[in-house]
Amino acid sequence: MPTSKRLYGNHLAILAPLAAGVLVVGLVLAFFQAPIEADQGFSQKIIYIHVPLAITTLLGFVWGGICAVQYLRSGNPRDDLRSYTAIHQSLIFCIGALITGSIWAKASWGTWWVWEEPTLVSFLIVFLLYCTYQPLRFSIEDPERQARYAAVFAVVAGAFIPLNFIAVRLADPLIHPRVLGTADGGLTAGMRPAFYLCTIGALLLFATLCKYEMASKHTRAQLRALRRRFGQDAPARPARTSAPEVPAR
């Protein structure tokens, strides 16, 4: 078994179809079994896509910070790769959450965005904060300094996520619904199975994409190392990374 698959691709063949299956079942329940919300109508069903994406995004950013803490403690490049991949995938999920949220806002409120709503603005701030991660990381040439500075950023930004979440939950809600843990904006009994399955499916999809990206980047780094070793690749400047496990652009 290839090293990259053994390190990063374990159970990928099981995880990928499992994620697809859970998502399909969740979406089928959401669109064909879950009741239609009385006030918003059919457009409310985008909640089964938007909210799982948002939850996965925030948990992914926190996970990236946890992996960064592990890297700062151990210096293991694998932890740096896990942190990088978690943040990269979380940014993709974050874009999906922002797009679906804007579509939902337009259908429900008649506008694409409401700047007075703390939930929306705080989520946008989180997105813009993490948009600076890759420019910061790849502006540094030295691999060790690159990984160390990126890890510090991931830890600080990851700690900001729960603080931001708590502050938003304590703020007076305007028009954005509180999906979980509230009586007025919460889920009805008929909505919960579909919502929970969609959320689990989004988390499984996130894990699948992270494993796939880690295995892919590790394999590419190994190929570059082999080419340099056998003289088939003579780069004009030093490689940005010195170890196979460290992510490359």
Write out pLDDT tens, residues 38-71: 677 777 888 899 999 999 999 999 999 999 999 9
Instruction: Tell me how far apart the alpha carbons of residues 201 and 197 are, in angstroms, rounded to a whole number.
Output: 6
In a domain, residue 167? The reply is yes
pLDDT band for position 176 (cuts 50, 70, 90): low
pLDDT tens profile 87-140: 999 999 999 999 998 888 888 778 888 887 778 888 898 999 999 998 988 888
Which tokens belong to 148? 């160390």
In a domain, residue 184? The reply is no
In a domain, residue 73? The reply is yes
In a domain, residue 206? The reply is no
In a domain, residue 41? The reply is no
Q: How many residues does the chain have?
A: 249
In a domain, residue 237? The reply is no
Domain range for 116 is 46-175
Q: What angle do CA 223, 224, 228 make, to 5 degrees?
A: 115
Query: In this predicted model, which residue has the larger pLDDT, 195 or 237?
Result: 195
User: According to the model, what pLDDT value does residue 108 have?
Assistant: 78
223 within 8 A of 21, measured Cβ to Cβ: no
User: According to the model, what pLDDT value does residue 237 have?
Assistant: 53
200 within 8 A of 26, measured Cβ to Cβ: yes
User: According to the model, what pLDDT value does residue 67 have?
Assistant: 95
In a domain, residue 222? The reply is no
Give the total number of structural domains in the chain.
1
For the stretch 62-91, what's the b/e string if a residue is b when 16 or more beta carbons lie within 10 angstroms of its beta carbon?
bbbbbbbbbbbeeeebbbbbbbbbbbbbbb
In a domain, residue 110? The reply is yes
pTM of structure: 0.81
